[in-house]
Amino acid sequence: MKANGKPKMRLAPILFLLASVVSACHPPYPTGADDELKPSPGGRLTARFFGVSTILLDDGNTAIITDGFFSRPGIGRLLFGEIAPDPDRIGWALQRGDVTKLSAVLTVHSHYDHAMDAPDVAHRWQAVVIGSPSTANIALGEGFPASCIRLIEHDRQEFTIGSFGVTAFRSLHSTGVPGGAAAEGTIDAPLRPPAGRTDYKEGGTFSFLIDNRRFRIIVHASTNYIPGMYAGVEADVVFLGIATLGKKSEAFASAYWREVVQTTKAKLVVPIHWDDFTIALDDRPLRPAPYPLEDFPRAMAMLRALAGKDVALRFMPLYAPVDIEAAAGLPPRARHNPLPAPSSCP
Ligand SMILES: [Zn+2]
């Protein structure tokens, strides 16, 4: 593995550069009206999507977010410079998504496109950061208080955040990411930004089962799995990471689908981690990560075949609230808890 890791690492910058050129002239993915969930602000439990695997869930009482990644540094900085949270971009996106409260940031792993902004986002509302010891070192390096970090220390560890129950599942990171080997491992000391892209080491990968009044959402951000990881677990919705899926075999895609979607009996699957996150967020649609880094059309073709008629496969709109219970086919429920949850980390 190490032997062919070296040429891949040298190839990675060239691939990234090529891809960014392709991406600049690449059209957004043509989602039809049937492919995208409709904004629906009145729901009891709303979800909002901000690209990669950043999803905000809000039931009126409590709001939580996965990753909270908004800085999206450009290709030049990623390859030849250093990166750091961008407070202006973070602030813009939070405002664009009408985020007014937050109790927790759940990080799926410690790569920069998941954990780099988490402390900045959490700090704005005295929210807690939940993640691995590596994510804790990102937070400490950014001056985030240790008392507001909740460590994930074992599989199926449970957290209660206001009206949400969260269970963290151990999983595996996707394979086949160009330059990925350089960002394996753990972050063993506080990481002070600016830092190199590969200083944000993976630190173990998790997915989350999020339960809100028995409506169950799985956020499974990285395109891989541990066989049997969801044994005995059921969910209404899966936010399914599909980065690198288009370059994988059909056998892998079916096994992935079986382990994460069929086992949990989810009836709605929302693809995530499909966009080119070297492009800043604005009011234009997201663009898929381009070939040769990804083969997005092939990934979608495989997913459509796997979903068939039994499972709805839908994209989230950007920033807009979606009544995620109605999207999963449940009858509308009224908002229950009008009072905001107290700050979880005073
Ligand atoms: Zn990653």
Please write down the HEC assignment for all residues of 95-145.
Answer: HHCCCCCCCEEECCCCCHHHHCCHHHHHHHCCCEEEECHHHHHHHHHCCCC
Task: Using the mean position of ligand 1's atoms as its centre, give its distance from the Cα of residue 20 in Å.
Answer: 18
**Phi, psi (degrees; rounded to nearest 5) at 309:** -95, -10
Residue 166 lies inside a defined structural domain of this protein:
yes
Residue 340 lies inside a defined structural domain of this protein:
no
CATH code for position 317: 3.60.15.10
Task: Using the mean position of ligand 1's atoms as its centre, give its distance from the Cα of residue 298 in Å.
Answer: 21
**Spatial contact of 301 and 250, defined as CB atoms under 8 Å apart:** no
Task: Using the mean position of ligand 1's atoms as its centre, give its distance from the Cα of residue 330 in Å.
Answer: 33
Task: Using the mean position of ligand 1's atoms as its centre, give its distance from the Cα of residue 51 in Å.
Answer: 14
Q: Is 160 helix (H, G, I), strand (E, B) or coil?
A: strand
Task: Using the mean position of ligand 1's atoms as its centre, give its distance from the Cα of residue 169 in Å.
Answer: 16
Q: So what's the pLDDT on residue 11?
A: 54
- From residue 65, alpha-carbon distances to 17, 102, 118 in Å are 31, 7, 9
Q: So what's the pLDDT on residue 178?
A: 78
Residue 339 lies inside a defined structural domain of this protein:
no
Q: So what's the pLDDT on residue 21?
A: 52
Residue 263 lies inside a defined structural domain of this protein:
yes
Q: So what's the pLDDT on residue 7?
A: 40
DSSP 225: -
Residue 342 lies inside a defined structural domain of this protein:
no
Task: Using the mean position of ligand 1's atoms as its centre, give its distance from the Cα of residue 184 in Å.
Answer: 9
Q: Is the dihedral of CA 178, 209, 110, 21 positive or negative?
A: positive
Task: Using the mean position of ligand 1's atoms as its centre, give its distance from the Cα of residue 342 in Å.
Answer: 32
- From residue 186, alpha-carbon distances to 135, 164, 212, 310 in Å are 9, 29, 32, 40
- For residue 30, what are its two tokens? 């043509």
Residue 336 lies inside a defined structural domain of this protein:
no
Residue 309 lies inside a defined structural domain of this protein:
yes
Q: So what's the pLDDT on residue 9?
A: 46
Q: How many domains does the chain have?
A: 1
Q: What share of the chain in percent tops pLDDT 90? A: 80
Task: Using the mean position of ligand 1's atoms as its centre, give its distance from the Cα of residue 202 in Å.
Answer: 6
Residue 332 lies inside a defined structural domain of this protein:
no
Task: Using the mean position of ligand 1's atoms as its centre, give its distance from the Cα of residue 173 in Å.
Answer: 6
Task: Using the mean position of ligand 1's atoms as its centre, give its distance from the Cα of residue 277 in Å.
Answer: 12
Residue ranges of the chain whose pLDDT lies below 50: 1-9
> Shortest CA distance to 71 belongs to which of 170, 146, 150, 142?
142
Q: So what's the pLDDT on residue 319?
A: 97
Q: Domain span at residue 178?
A: 2-25+35-327
Q: So what's the pLDDT on residue 292?
A: 82
Q: What's the whole-model pTM score? A: 0.92
| 252-295 pLDDT per residue, tens | 999 999 999 999 999 999 999 999 999 999 999 999 988 888 89
H or E element that contains 46: strand 46-49
